[in-house]
Each structure stands twice: as C-alpha cells, then as structure tokens.
Structure 1
Amino acid sequence: MKRTTNFKPHAVVREDRADGSILLRSAEPLSEVVDTTGDWLHRWAEDAPDRTFIAERHGAGWREENYAETLEKVRAIAASLLGRGMGPDTPILIMSGNGVDHGLLALAAQYVGIPTVPVAEQYSLIHGAHGRLRHAIELVRPRMAYVVDAKQYGEALAMDALDGIEVIATRPDARTTPFADLLKGDSSDVDAARARVGPDSVVKLLMTSGSTSSPKAVMTTQRMMCANQVQLADAMPFLRTRAPRIVDWLPWNHVFGGSHNFNMMLANGGSLYIDDGKPVKNLFERTVENLSLVTGTLCFNVPVGFSMLLNALREDAGLRQRFFEDLDMIFYAGASLPQEIWQGFEQMAMETKGEVPLITSSWGLTETAPAMMLQHEPTENSGVVGVPLNGVTAKLIPDGEMRCEVRVKGPNLMPGYFEAPEKTAEAFDEDGFFITGDAMRFVDPGDINKGMKFDGRISEDFKLLTGTWVRAAQLRIDMLAALAPLAADLVITGADKGEIGAMIFPNLGELEAEGFELEDDAGAYLCPLLLGEIHRRLAAHAATGASSSTRVARAIVLSEPASMPDGEMTAKGNLNFRKVLTRRAGLLKRLYADADPAVATL
C-alpha cells in the first residue's frame, strides 16, 4: 500500500534517571517562534492578502474574509475595545459557538492583549446548564460578553450574573450593542497597545472540562499558542509548503478546535471554513452539504464523525473524489479511531487517489495549548500518539508493568490556572513538570522512535474484589469497538465488585434502524433481541483471551442520555464517569443483580 511521504522523521533522545524515571525529548531544536498571533496576521495580510482566511455559510454560499480584510477589521475592533477601557484585566466572555465575528473578536482581543473566555454554547442555550455559565462568569469576572444572536441567547443574557456587563451581538436587540459598532473603530492607539503585548501575555482563558472537579480557567499565553504551531509544522513540513485548508466544526471553546485548528490556519496562511454541521443525527447532512462546496487539505474529527463521514463518502462518488484529491492528512482525536474505520479510509484513499494520506493523532491537554506528542509518521494501527514535539520533554514514571505515568515540560505549557495558586501548585511536581494524570506505554520498548500509545487515565483505574487492577480507560476503548455501532459511549464498572460491568449509552439511531425498542420505564432497555446481541458480543470479546482484568461479564443499556445539566457530560462531549455512577446508583445496583432481566450477563 502506497503511503504518503510528506512527514519528517523524528529522532528521540532518552535519559534514564537515578530515581527510575525516564526523560524523552526530540533530538532536534525548536524552530524560530514569533512573539504573537498578530505577527502571523500581518505576515499573511502582506504575503497573501486576497486568500480567504475565515468563512462561514451565508445563504447558498459562504461569507469569506480574506487576510487583508481580516487585519483591517481586527485593528478596528481592537481600537473599539481599547476605547471602552478594555485591557489585560477585563476579559471578554464569548458565549456563542464558532463564527466569523467570533473569530474576528478573538483575534482583535489577542492583538492588544485582552483575554477572551470562550465557553460552550450549551451553557447558554440549555437552561439546566446555566450553572456552568454562572461558574465561569463568577470565576473570570468579564467586562464584556458576545453572542451571535441576542434573541436566541435571551434567557442566558437575562441572568443577574451578567448585570452591568456590555453584551455585543451580531444580531442585536434593544439591550445589546451591535457588533457592527465595533467595526467603526476608535481613535485609540492600537499600535501602542499591540507593542505592549508579548510572549507572556495571557490572551485566552480556557475552561477545563470539569470532569474531575469544578472547571478551572487555563491561562493561555501568546508563547504557548505560537510555539505549539511551530512544533507542529516542524513535525509536519507540508503545512509550510502548501497553504492548508479545513472545513471544520470542532468548537472553539475547546483547545483542539479553538487553538490547535484555528491557529494552524492562521500560522500557515491557511483557510478555515466553518462547518455548521456536527456528527450527530439531523446535523451531519449539513456537514455533507458543506463538503460538497469546499473540501480541505486536512481533515480533523472525532471517531464518530469519521464513521459518519466514511459512510457518506461510500454513497457519493463525486464527493469521495473531491474529498481525497487534495487531502494531506486525516487527524483524529478524542478517542482511538476504530480499526475498521481506519482501514476503510485507507482502502478508499487507495481506490480514489492511489495513495494513503497521513492518518495521525497527537496527545496533549488544555494546559499545553494543546499538542505535546504527535504520531508524525505513518502507522497501520490506531491509538499511537507518537513522540515528543520539538522543545517538549516528557517525564515517564514506570509502574512496573511497562506502563508509565506521563508528565511534561515545554514552551507551550501554561503558567498556571487563573487565580488558583493552590491548584496551580498541585499541578506541577518538584522538577516543574506538569502532572497530566495520563498513562502511556511504548509501542516498541526496543525502539523508542516508534513512539507511545495512550493507556488511559491513572485516576480511572480500579481494583476488583480479587485485588486485580482494571485499566478502565483502555478497556472502555476496546469495548466501544466490540459493541460498535450500538454503543455511543459507556462506563466501565467493577470497583470493589467481583466482575467488570458496563453501563452503555446506546446509539439510538442504530437501535431504531435495527428495530430495538425501549420497554423499561426504570431507565434500562429490556428488549430481548438487544440483550441477546450484547451477550453475543461480550462472549466474543471474552473468547479473544480476555483475563479477569479485561473480561466484561455484565452490561446494562441506559435509556436516558447523559445529562449535561446534571454534570454527566462535559461541554466537550466527554462523560464524567464519577457523576454517571453517582447519579445512577440505582442502575449500578441493578447491574450487579443477577435476576434483573435488563442485565446481559456471561
């Protein structure tokens, strides 16, 4: 199979320390890093003024802003912000999702050193999630807020927490300031303000997911974002040889969409077409429509999105041809890509183009802006997160079972959490490494250049009554693959129990297609056909040689979706496993009751 050669081989240096820890770092130095994102904007406004930087759907086509127009509008907005007394201590809360005006406002704020705080739009649009919005407001104390549509966000804007805060709206009402007013500019000295912005300026406060505690605000600096893009381009030089283009839905309140993807386009003179579809029922058709208008040189998505995209490409030969003709890379994140989806894209690329693009992933966190490791060369297997990027040092602490806890340093690491000195101190070890809580293992212990494979969260591991350790994160990934496509997500159970169990959130679309019906008012599926299919798949997984630490012996299918207002789901779409187990304690009890007809057991 012919694979792309547009990657750069990456050598790794290993240092074994007396305390048993291992340090990994790239053998190559980091290339030169600009001081601010404004430097990128000026460069491309001069070198490629007419190239589209950012676009969103407008009618049958796109509203597009080229680099020259973007710089002009960014400077006008920045002047208006300065004229309102905004500065480093007056954050702007961005309550809406991705959009051109959102992007212009964020860049203008960065240009003159004003922090923005993008939060999940669900916090404003779902009544039950307003508590999360209130927490963010009380934590960062914004001076200004932005929404795309004042009417749509009206309930959230009526919260007393926003009293006294100027609200900017693209589609305003009588209570809000039109976004167009910001474009009128001001007499403020934008150049003087920009000159005060440097690598250490905090220009973004990103809320953590809150999956283990109350969300914290990560102080994101210019250095973090600028260094990370150089690290990525050092590893993937094709970013510098051809202007990239993406059609992307990933939300900007999350570091993946808002820092990684957004800045990748800006740093390399690329074009970002905002996909207003999503990989969910009734919205993915919009993604397909958008891709029929524009396709990318890079494709970013989560595994469920790639699964839906693969099916759409199989049904449309014209879209398939357009999708692959300029494609340099397929990049998955959020979870391991199921092998059958990986192989499906490989086969389709070969049949369509005669070459497989780089299929890759990386590893990082909100606190690292985000990428720290990257699978920088072709591999045949999903789940590899690669080696440290240039400038990154990874500290590995082995646990005696070929598994390592991972800690990191690098120029893209945060200075700390906003106004949380105790939490910041807890986040770093005595050597100044950030304690990630993630575990990894070497793909090939004999060749460290093959990189590392993600192996779950240390905090998610638990023991059975027998004392056997269960690596819950990796087992969850394996079970999602075994139960695909019936399971949308699941929680592994068994702490202090005799057997491992699974609480399954079903893929309702697939269940409906297969004729499985909900019959239990108490929160679980009783359909004998569904339970029989789950039993068959659990048995097949166990027959592959599963041990007591990997054999899932019982499962229950949940009828109620994960609740964001109740904290079961984060804004990133991840499950809060502890909250699910706590809130559904009754169902957990049922899971271990052998006589319950809603439980599939081996």
Structure 2
Amino acid sequence: MRDFPWQYRGGVVVTDHCGRIKLQPDTPRPSFAPWKPEFRIEERSDGSILMEQTEPLDAYPEKMTDCLLRWAAEQPERTYLARRVKGGDWREINYRDALAAVRSIGSYLLSIGLDPSRPVLILSENSIEHALMALGAQYVGIPSAAVSPAYSLISSDHGKLSDLVANLQPGLVFADDGEKFAAAIKAILKPGMHLVVCEKEPSGGGGVHFDDVLATEATQEAEDACRAVNADTVAKYLFTSGSTGSPKGVINTQRMMTSNQAMVADCYTFLREGPPVVVDWAPWNHTASGNKVFNMILYHGGTFYIDDGKPTPVGIQETIRNLKEISPSWYFNVPVGYDMLAKAFEADAELCASFFRNLSMMMYAGAGMAQHTWDKLKQLARKTTGHDVLLAAGLGATETAPFALMCMEPQESAGNIGVPSRGLVLKLVPNEDKLEARLKGPSITPGYLNDAEQTKKAFDEEGFYRLGDALRPADPEDFTKGFFFDGRIAENFKLSTGTWVAVGALRAGFIDHFSGLVKDVVIVGENRHYLAALAIPHEQHVRELASDHFEGKSLAEVLDSDIARAAFQEKLTDFAKSATGSSTRIMSMIAMAEPPDLDKGEVTDKGSINQRAVLRNRPELVDALYNGRPDVIEA
C-alpha cells in the first residue's frame, strides 16, 4: 500500500483522551485539490468515444483488512467507529480493539463451519456491531451481504428478502436487535442456519449473543485464512436497489474495493492531509456508504461517526444534534437532506459554524439538487468560512464499487458529475440522440451472484460494463470539463409524434422548478401526443404553504385545497411556458396523495422512484391525466 504521509500546513492534527480526532484551531483549511488530470480521448469510426486519464492508478493494497492491520499498528488508540448510545453520549471503539474483535469474529465463523459458499446475511441498520461482523467475515474470506432493513421492517410479505436469501444461501443471519427483526428472521431462518443477535433475542430463542462471539479466542486458523485472502476473493454481495428491475446480487471483490479507494485518494487529495472524519447516516447496504464512505475511513485511518438521523422532518433533528458536536471533514447527503440542513444552518449559527469548521467537501447524490439549495449552501459556506467549500456530485453504480466519475472543480450550478477517475476507461456509445456510458477497470464487478444471463447482458463485446446511463458533455468541444447526467436509457421514450423524451433531464428540471413542493416525479407520455406528470409532493413543504389552515388535515385534503392547487397550477404553467418544444412541455399533472409502494417495486429502499413500475401499477392515474379528473391540474 502506498504510504501517504500526512502533511499539515501550519498546524497539526491532535487527538483527545478518547482518540477522537480534532484539528487545532490555527490549522489552515485544506485548499481545493489541484486535480488537473490529462486525458487520452479516442474517437472511433463507429461514433463511440474512449476517454481515460494518461497517468496510471497508484498502487493499492490487496485487501481492505490490510488497512485495519496498518492502523491498529500505527494508531491503535485512535477512534475508528462511534455511535451514540440511545439518548446519550458516543460509544466508541479504537483501531486496536476493532482488530481484536474482527479476529475473534473470524475465528467464530470458521468454527461453525462457514465458508465462501455459506455467507453472512446482515439484516441490521448501521452499527458498530454490523461493521465488525462484516469485517470479521472479510478477514477470513467469507462474504457478507447487508440487506436493506426495509425488506425486513417495511415490507409486509418479506417477498424480496426471501428471494434474496434463496439466491444467497447464507450460513449465518446477524441482527442487531432480534426482537425488531423477529418477523423477518422467522420468515427466512432455515435449519442449518446460525443466528447471532446483539440484544432482545427473538421469541423462541436459538440465537447466539454477539458478546459470546466476541469472547471466541482468536485462532491460528483465522490468521491462515486471512493470509489466503487475495484480490479476487469475494468480500461482499451488494444487492441493487431494483430501480430498473429486480434486485441483483452484485459480486464485490477485494480488488474492486481497494482499487476504488486508490481512485478516491487520487481524486480527494485532501484525504492525504489528515485522517478524515465523517458523520454519516447513509445505509451500508448501499454501495455509496457501505463501500465508498466506509472503506474511505478505513483506508485513511479516520473516524466514522454513525449518524442515526435521516433526511426526514423528524430524523434530521438527530443529524443536527450530531453535527453540532462533531465537525466532519467530508460530508455526504441527498439533496432533500441538504435542503433541510440549509434551513437549519440559517436558523442556528452555532450549528452552521460546527458543520463548516473542518469541512473540505460536500458531496450529494441520489437525485438532482435544486439550484436554490445549491446557491444557499455555497452562500452559507462563504459567509461562515470566508472561502468556498467544494460542493460536488459524481456518478457510479453498485457494479463500479461505486466511485467512477467525480467533479472536483468548483461549479456555478448543480449537476456536473465530472470526469472518469484514474484507472477507469469511459466509453461513450451513440444511442439514438444520446451518449450511453460504459466503463472498464479494476473496480468493476465480475458479475452477479448465480445469474450468468444478467452478467452477460451487463457487459458489451469489449468487456465494458453498461451503466445504463446517458451522459451529456458540459462542453461538446472539451470533454475534460465534465458531463451531466442525461437520463437512464431504459426510461427514455417517444411521443406519438416520434419525438424522443429525455426523462432524466426533464425530471431534474421539473423538480427544480417546483422549488421544494415536489420531491420526485414520474414523467408520462409514451405513445401519447403530449407529456404529463405524476408528482410525488414534499408533504412538509406543501403544508408550509398555509400551516395553520392545514393543521389536522390529511395529505389528500391538503392537496385538494385551493391553496395547494393554486401553487401547483402556477408552477406548472410557468414550467410549460419555459419549454423548448413538445419533448419538454408538460401539460397536466396530478400530485399523488398515495406514496409509491415498496412492495410493488414503485420505490426502492433508498427512495428512488421506479418510473415504469409506477406507470404499470397506476393505469387509472395515467388515464386521468389525458381524460380528465377533478384532481388533474392543467397548464
């Protein structure tokens, strides 16, 4: 592993008695990364374009647990993971104790007969125990799979969870809270499967307590197994969110994860200036946090503060509490979360100062960021710190580990997702009037678990992974200035006139124009003569139109009010007037009172809308948009 010495300009990083990382007050802030890579760009006779950085990717370790061994030796007392005890202070574990726990867990897993063909299934939300269980399995070469808690706690029939288990064939099920996950455990636990819980064993018992696992004596067998783990060893399976179909088990090898972190380190050069600190809520069953953020901390010997908050009106309060106490050096949220935080920053100077104090970068993903949110965050950063803090987006997928494209230059507006990372080759293939993106490199998955057919479909004849996304260059004459997301290839359609509709860009524009009243939208119009929309309202913002008037009323009653209808009417009319043609002009809409349904596949566990599933399941709403109904709003 390449050793990046930490050099602090004019100051030092210190730790308190708990090993908690703190910057001395006089330490100058890191500058923007001097990230000006050079590219080879090849235009082929078939219209396709290849783009890659000229410099090769730096060396990287063979496996992620090499990083744990490194930091346990070099910084044993430094806090690695922390999570609040309910209603109390932070509970922490340092690198030395984390390694000891991982060795015990690995030894236990081998002692009960687990091997690569019998993985560990993790049902829990983010927790210290969750992290240790996954790393313990990795340490001895046993894959794990963290599955969305929504499949256990929200789904009424556990259908998706049962399908995943049938594919995975786990040898052990781990749940932080046996009682909370009792129904899911009952639905999937079969003879021969082991069960480990941290608290509240499910009725009927049968589980082993996590403390007993930690008490297992570390064995030479575990050390031998660790040495046998190599770059091709499967580290985990991550199941796709199902936004474009049924969830698939994406194979994640050690090489994928370690090479991806080398790409991150090359791009986020400020990570070399000091151990990163994150306060992060995003679930580890998704690649964004479960791979990129989690491994970023381990790779650089930083501290991960597990945030039990969420970007919801109630959950954001816990995030605010945590950010008031812990100042991150790198921060991620989805656009709706940033929108909530921006309002909180304006109302609370102490919170705003804490958030920006040590911050080098803000990243957003999951949806397009509204321009008003972007502008507010940039303004708050300048006002609080006296300089810009980079606010950026990127593009990746579960199959790319996920870091692939990233914007590292300040922009005047939201949306630029940057250029391909070092070590990756981007292939742009003409598809109708779009450029379809494909990728090749060491961080790309070898395929899907027990699904040769989908694996074959995922790659083209040259071995490039098909992202399924279209990209639009920020400057058609200079691709090095980055790209904009130009929609999912599978979502685009034609009007009855033959005109193509780019759904991704249109969705983003619609959401931005409605200034917070809409959090997502399904674009309607395939084989119709004009466009319409099924809008998913942002309930909190809609109620804020007249909070006193709407008190005690249901969302359906709020949406049916003259106040709400007038607000939507005004926005829709203005949006239609700004259209450049039939492919961008939305003529009617319905604000949906009934939210998208997880069990029906209309929404993924991370909140992404499956456009085609909504259209398939709600034909009566689609018909109403064109045939008239009282709740239809027309431009």
TM category (shorter chain) comes to over 0.9
Distance in 2 separating the partners of 1:524 and 1:216: 39
Residue of structure 1 equivalent to 2:108: 80
Query: Does the CA contact (< 8 Å) of 1:303 and 1:332 recur in 2?
Result: yes
Distance in 1 separating the partners of 2:623 and 2:282: 37
- For residue 251 of structure 1, report the CA deviation from its aligned partner: 0.3
Distance in 2 separating the partners of 1:214 and 1:412: 23
Query: Does the CA contact (< 8 Å) of 2:382 and 2:389 recur in 1?
Result: no
Relative contact order, higher structure (CA 8 A, sep 6+): 1
Residue of structure 1 equivalent to 2:492: 461
State how 1:235-384 maps to structure 2 within 5 Å. Answer: 235-384=267-416
Q: Residue 519 of structure 2: which of 460, 485, 488 is its match?
A: 488
More off after superposition, 507-516 vs 206-215: 507-516
Q: Residue 136 of structure 1: which of 158, 161, 164 is its match?
A: 164
In structure 2, relative to structure 1, the CA distance for the partners of 1:519 and 1:548 (3 Å cut) is farther
Secondary structure of the residue aligned to 2:328 is coil
The one-letter code of the counterpart of 1:146 is F
State how 1:207-246 maps to structure 2 within 5 Å. Answer: 207-246=239-278
The one-letter code of the counterpart of 1:356 is D
Gaps of 5+ in 2: 1-28
Q: Deviations over 1:415-457 (max 9, x none)?
A: 1101111111111111111111100011112222101111110
State how 1:59-138 maps to structure 2 within 5 Å. Answer: 59-128=87-156, 130-138=158-166
Q: Deviations over 1:190-228 (max 9, x none)?
A: 210001100000010110112232211000000000000
The one-letter code of the counterpart of 1:503 is L
Residue of structure 2 equivalent to 1:26: 53
The one-letter code of the counterpart of 2:588 is R
Gaps of 5+ in 1: none
- For residue 50 of structure 1, report the CA deviation from its aligned partner: 1.3
Secondary structure of the residue aligned to 2:423 is coil
The one-letter code of the counterpart of 1:460 is E
Query: Does the CA contact (< 8 Å) of 1:92 and 1:116 recur in 2?
Result: yes
Residue of structure 1 equivalent to 2:22: none
- For residue 466 of structure 1, report the CA deviation from its aligned partner: 1.4
Query: Does the CA contact (< 8 Å) of 2:257 and 2:295 recur in 1?
Result: yes
Distance in 2 separating the partners of 1:347 and 1:331: 16
Residue of structure 2 equivalent to 1:429: 460
The one-letter code of the counterpart of 2:352 is R
Q: Deviations over 1:461-511 (max 9, x none)?
A: 111111111111110111011113111211010111111111011111122
Secondary structure of the residue aligned to 1:416 is coil
Distance in 1 separating the partners of 2:576 and 2:453: 45
* Matching of residue 416 in structure 1 with residue 447 in structure 2: yes
Secondary structure of the residue aligned to 1:281 is coil
Query: Does the CA contact (< 8 Å) of 1:325 and 1:353 recur in 2?
Result: yes
- For residue 51 of structure 1, report the CA deviation from its aligned partner: 1.2
In structure 2, relative to structure 1, the CA distance for the partners of 1:262 and 1:586 (3 Å cut) is same
Secondary structure of the residue aligned to 2:344 is helix
Identity of aligned residues (%): 39
More off after superposition, 80-89 vs 298-307: 80-89
Secondary structure of the residue aligned to 1:6 is coil
* Matching of residue 168 in structure 1 with residue 200 in structure 2: no
Distance in 1 separating the partners of 2:272 and 2:532: 48
- For residue 575 of structure 1, report the CA deviation from its aligned partner: 1.0
Query: Does the CA contact (< 8 Å) of 2:372 and 2:515 recur in 1?
Result: no
Query: Does the CA contact (< 8 Å) of 1:532 and 1:600 recur in 2?
Result: no
Residue of structure 2 equivalent to 1:479: 510
The one-letter code of the counterpart of 1:477 is A
Secondary structure of the residue aligned to 1:377 is coil
Query: Does the CA contact (< 8 Å) of 1:77 and 1:183 recur in 2?
Result: yes
Residue of structure 1 equivalent to 2:570: 536
* Matching of residue 404 in structure 1 with residue 435 in structure 2: yes
In structure 2, relative to structure 1, the CA distance for the partners of 1:172 and 1:524 (3 Å cut) is closer
Secondary structure of the residue aligned to 2:627 is coil
In structure 2, relative to structure 1, the CA distance for the partners of 1:301 and 1:162 (3 Å cut) is farther
Distance in 1 separating the partners of 2:431 and 2:464: 18
Secondary structure of the residue aligned to 1:459 is coil
Distance in 2 separating the partners of 1:132 and 1:545: 40
Distance in 1 separating the partners of 2:242 and 2:373: 30
The one-letter code of the counterpart of 1:73 is A
Residue of structure 2 equivalent to 1:450: 481
Secondary structure of the residue aligned to 2:354 is helix
- For residue 4 of structure 1, report the CA deviation from its aligned partner: 4.2
- For residue 127 of structure 1, report the CA deviation from its aligned partner: 4.3
Q: Residue 76 of structure 2: which of 31, 49, 56 is its match?
A: 49
Q: RMSD in angstroms over aligned alpha carbons? A: 1.9
Residue of structure 2 equivalent to 1:197: 229
> Aligned residues, how many?
599
In structure 2, relative to structure 1, the CA distance for the partners of 1:3 and 1:54 (3 Å cut) is closer
- For residue 520 of structure 1, report the CA deviation from its aligned partner: 10
- For residue 540 of structure 1, report the CA deviation from its aligned partner: 1.4
Residue of structure 2 equivalent to 1:12: 39
Q: Residue 40 of structure 1: which of 44, 61, 67 is its match?
A: 67
Query: Does the CA contact (< 8 Å) of 1:524 and 1:557 recur in 2?
Result: no
Residue of structure 2 equivalent to 1:565: 599
Give the TM-score normalised by the residue count of structure 1.
0.96
